[in-house]
Amino acid sequence: MPASKKVHVTTTINGEDTDFLCEPRHSLLEVLRDNLGLTGSKEGCNNGNCGACTVMLNGRPVDSCLVLGAEVEGAEIETVEGIACSSNLHPVQECFLEGAALQCGICTPGFLVASKALLDKDPHASEETIRFDLSGNLCRCTGYDKIVRAVQAAGQKMATKV
């Protein structure tokens, strides 16, 4: 077995230039949580089936448990910690709160990242589109009803703000 060396990676996370050392086997999720202290992204399954670790990688939502830390050299990453703008919550965060779209909150970061990506693409997304595009995010508490409504409400807020 080779003695694997740590890899030095330079990247941008939530708009800030960041660099880190990681082993090749470390996932982006592990790097974010353990190396960089960004524990907002959660591990629910570690194999891409729950979406709790969703982050934006170069503008696309990905499961960060299925990305190697070593792969993100030069990439732009956004996590749940970067959604709010200084002390102002983003409309999608506001609507999750106002609409009681979370209970235990463990799936919430993943939902917020994916929902924001969806609404950035189409703030008027239909219920069907929302349900399809967010089907990679599991929630076990809410039954999804209030999440769908919160995403719809956030879309309206975002559309009127533009």
Tell me which residues in 126-155 interact with other proteins (CB under 8 A). 127, 130-149
Q: Is 52 in the site for other proteins (CB under 8 A)?
A: yes
Nearer of residues 84 and 156 to other proteins, judged by Cβ: 84
Candidates 13, 112, 119, 125: give the one binding other proteins (CB under 8 A).
112
In whole angstroms, how far apart are CA 51 and each of 20, 64, 81, 112, 126? 24, 9, 16, 11, 21
Nearer of residues 60 and 161 to other proteins, judged by Cβ: 60
C-alpha 48/C-alpha 87 separation (Å) is 31
CB 90 within 8 A of CB 84: yes
In the block, residue with structure tokens 């967010």 = 134
Q: Measured from the CB of residue 17, what is the shortest distance to other proteins in angstroms?
A: 20
Q: Which positions from 56 through 75 interact with other proteins, judged by CB under 8 A?
A: 57, 60-63, 65-68, 70-71, 73
C-alpha 103/C-alpha 59 separation (Å) is 28
